[in-house]
Amino acid sequence: QVQLQESGPGLVKPSETLSLTCTVSGDSISSSYWNWIRQPPGKGLEWIGYISDSGSTNYNPSLRGRVTISLDTSKNQFSLKLTSVTAADAAVYYCARAQSTRLNFYFDYWGQGTLVTVSS
C-alpha cells in the first residue's frame, strides 16, 4: 500500500520560504510523478507542480519563479520550496503520486495534507 506523509512547519512568516517534505512508503520514488497540490481554506484544489522519476520538473505557470520541487531518492522523499510567501499562500498542502498516459494524468495516492499558515 502506497502511503505519503507531508511534514514541515505549520507557520511561515510573510516574505519567507515555505519548505515541506513528503515521505513515500510502499513505492519507490524512482518511478511515477510526484506532485504538490494545495487547497486554501474553503476553496478548491490548485496543482503546484511535479517532479518526475527522472528528475524533470514542471510547475504551475502562476507560481513559476517561486517554486522548486526536488527529489531525494536515498530517503524516498521529495520536497517543496515556495519563496516569498504571502497570505495568499496559506493553504492545506498535499503531496500526491501521479500516473501519466498519453490521454490522462491522474493523482492516485495522496498524503493527508498539512496546513500552512502565513503570519508574522
Partner 1 sequence: SSELTQDPAVSVALGQTVRITCQGASLKNYYASWYQQKPRQAPVLVIYGRNNRPSGIPDRFSGSSSGNTGSLTITGAQAEDEADYYCNSRDSSGNNLVFGGGTKLTVL
- Interface residues with partner 1 (CB under 8 A) are 35, 44-47, 50, 58, 60-61, 94, 99, 101, 103-108, 110-113
Of the pair 14, 105, the CB lying nearest partner 1 is at 105
Minimal distance, residue 20 CB to partner 1, in Å: 15
Q: What is the DSSP code (8-state) at residue 120?
A: -
Minimal distance, residue 2 CB to partner 1, in Å: 11
For residues 100 and 84, what is the distance between their CA atoms, to the nearest angstrom?
31
Q: Identify residue 77 by its one-letter amino acid code.
A: Q
Of the pair 13, 115, the CB lying nearest partner 1 is at 115
Give 13-66 as a DSSP string. Answer: -TTS-EEEEEEEESS-TTSSEEEEEEE-TTS--EEEEEEETTS-EEE-TTTTTT
Of the pair 16, 68, the CB lying nearest partner 1 is at 68
